Amino acid sequence: MSNYARLSYLVLSFLLVQSCKPQDSENTLVFNDELHSFANTKEVHTTHLNWDAAIDFDRKQVSGTATWNFVNDSNARYIHFDTYDLTIKKVKVNNKESQYFLSPMLEEYGSGLSIPIQQGDTVVSIEYFTGPQATALQWLKPEQTAGKQLPYMFTQCESIHARSLLPCQDLPSNRITYEAKLQVPKGMLAVMSAKNPIEKNKEGIYTYQMEIPVPTYLIALAVGDIEYKAIDERSGVYTEPSMLDAAWKELSDIPMMMTAAEKLGGPYRWGKYDVLIAPPSFPIGGMENPRLTFATPTIIAGDKSLVSLIAHEMAHSWSGNLVTNARWDDLWLNEGFTTYFERRIMESISGKSYTEMLWELGYQDMQSDFKDMGLNGEDTRLKVNLKKRNPGDAFSNIPYEKGAIFLRMLEEQTGREKFDAFMNAYFSEHAFKPTTTEQCLAFMDRNLFNGDSNRRNALKVREWIYETGLPDNCPKINPERFVLVDQQRALLESGAPVSTLNTMGWTTHEWLQFLRKMPRPTKMEWMTNLDQRFQLTKSTNSEIADEWFKLSIASNYKEAFDEMEIFLSQVGRKKFLEPLYMEMKKTPENLKMAQRIFAKYRNNYHPQTASKIEKILNAK
């Protein structure tokens, strides 16, 4: 066992709590603060999960039995699992009841569950139920759903939240297959990141198989009034009945996206590719759960202008789900490759001038993070240091956008043909394997630079990965379509009336560029006239609405505040919520408004999002 940072308390203090056996000095249960896990996968690792559980909406509880097959490579005497706020009822090893030890709760990381095993043991089953603090679970009341009749529940396990759903070895480097049998209330359908049912049955009992090995952060579950509509033989949409047709129309380009993706990444290996459009309070844009992307309904704009998010989640079928970051500090391997891949899919289906806008908006997001973190901020490195830190801290725009533009630089410098061959080989060679930054760089050396280290050094590869800030060979992005937008804004600023602005043919992205670059504060007269002409306060496009509300706060345009409050009460996507609360925090009067709105609607937000916003509002 290398790299295992031992915390001082070890196991000594708590073995007696759950065990009638005296303390065992051979128990190696420790928390690894670089890997954020108690699991001892280097000695003994789980390979398959059989999960039998019931979903209880009244108690907001998942209860059942997780039966794990494991391989004991080193004659280990204990197998260690991660748990978070789980109550363990009974443990059996090879079908015989066993004792177990549960360490005290470590804030944010949970408790280690240690179970004694003997040579020849291969199966452990753990009967348990989830707790009220489960960070993976969000329980929605009927009024928080689109249909407003039945409650809803969904999970979000990335990065270390699967342990609050079931006891598991919760590390991205360990892969497992799984099968499940779930009991849900009648009238509901449950879907997982697995082979899924496509219609409800009377009993509310469903079964699932995921026979392709995945890391535990890709276990996923959603339960509610969910229906399915196929797009073609391998793709379709799951969502609440009232959203089904709109979602199906918006996502009808999925087969075309898939063709473009396979051209770059090689064959899609997961069988079906379906999308679950979650209720509005879904905390993130999308989650690449294998076979079943979970996505926010805020991408349903009516004109397919926000579907690049689906391209992103689809691209994860290669970068992330197939080739997985070995540790969370290698996150850029998942997100940078995926963001680059997403842009290539979009270029293929929407053209270069369209995709340049996506690159530019992403670049602006990255610049705004550089501004917040400082150009020399530790977390502006692609390979971040997460020792003693929650992996959630790694999810800024840096791994996504700095990672993507680094790959774009490599593509421009080595030529698309060579770069594409490298990508394709990278995915097939590392398929189903955890991959570190160092393994990726070594592969790049061999396959992109043909062992020529001068070439690699000239492109500043190590500076891109290991240093802070942005190297000076970063590609320049200057989308023609934004030049036209900037001209219109300049006209406005030089005195032209709002009524003369030419916005014909603008998509969401042109509007974002226009609003982001407006002076802050913007003159009240312009705000009023822009709103009257373009109905921005009432925009049903969540990206545009969010940008407009930010500008409205900064300009103290109070006419938008009631609609903004409705938006904040319904939408749970962190990307929209956090900047709005941050903007409101800037003046005492608006801070009061932020506190009032947050107090009123915090229960509508995902627990992870609510705690982040609380931190924002309480920070000095």
Q: Which of residues 325-344 bind Zn ion (CB under 5 A)?
A: 335, 338
For residues 335 and 546, which CB has a smaller minimum distance to Zn ion in the complex?
A: 335
Q: Which of residues 338-377 bind Zn ion (CB under 5 A)?
A: 338
Number of residues lying near Zn ion (CB under 5 A): 2
Amino acid at 296: T
Question: x/- string (CB under 5 A) for Zn ion, residues 292-331?
Answer: ----------------------------------------
- Residue 172: beta bridge partners? none
For residues 264 and 492, which CB has a smaller minimum distance to Zn ion in the complex?
A: 264
**Residue 220 Cβ vs Zn ion, minimum distance, rounded to whole Å:** 14
**Residue 308 Cβ vs Zn ion, minimum distance, rounded to whole Å:** 12
CA angle 339, 341, 344 (to 5 degrees): 115
Give me the helix-helix angle, 607-618 and 588-601, nearest 10°: 160
Q: What are phi and psi of 21, to 5 degrees?
A: -85, 145
Catalytic residue among 250, 288, 313, 543: 313
Determine whether 313 is an active site residue: yes
Euclidean distance between CA atoms 452 and 445, whole angstroms = 7
What is the DSSP pairing of strand 323-325 with strand 433-435? parallel
For residues 317 and 522, which CB has a smaller minimum distance to Zn ion in the complex?
A: 317
**Residue 575 Cβ vs Zn ion, minimum distance, rounded to whole Å:** 12
**Residue 325 Cβ vs Zn ion, minimum distance, rounded to whole Å:** 11
Catalytic residue among 238, 273, 363, 400: 400
Determine whether 581 is an active site residue: no
For residues 61 and 338, which CB has a smaller minimum distance to Zn ion in the complex?
A: 338
For residues 179 and 335, which CB has a smaller minimum distance to Zn ion in the complex?
A: 335
**Residue 319 Cβ vs Zn ion, minimum distance, rounded to whole Å:** 9
**Residue 400 Cβ vs Zn ion, minimum distance, rounded to whole Å:** 7
Tokens of 14: 């708590």
CA atoms within 13 A on the CB side of 30: 17
Neighbouring residues of 408: CB distance < 8 A, sequence distance ≥ 6: 340, 343, 359, 475
Question: x/- string (CB under 5 A) for Zn ion, residues 18-57?
Answer: ----------------------------------------
For residues 93 and 314, which CB has a smaller minimum distance to Zn ion in the complex?
A: 314
CA atoms within 13 A on the CB side of 264: 27
Whether the upstream peptide bond of residue 350 has omega within 30° of 0, thus cis, is no
- Centroid of chain to Cα 88: 28
Nearest to 284 by CA among 159, 192, 150: 159
Euclidean distance between CA atoms 68 and 311, whole angstroms = 34
| Cα-Cα-Cα-Cα dihedral sign, residues 443, 316, 568, 157 | negative
> Which single residue is written with the structure tokens 């319904």?
570
Binding site for Zn ion (CB under 5 A): 335, 338
Positions annotated as catalytic residues are 313, 400
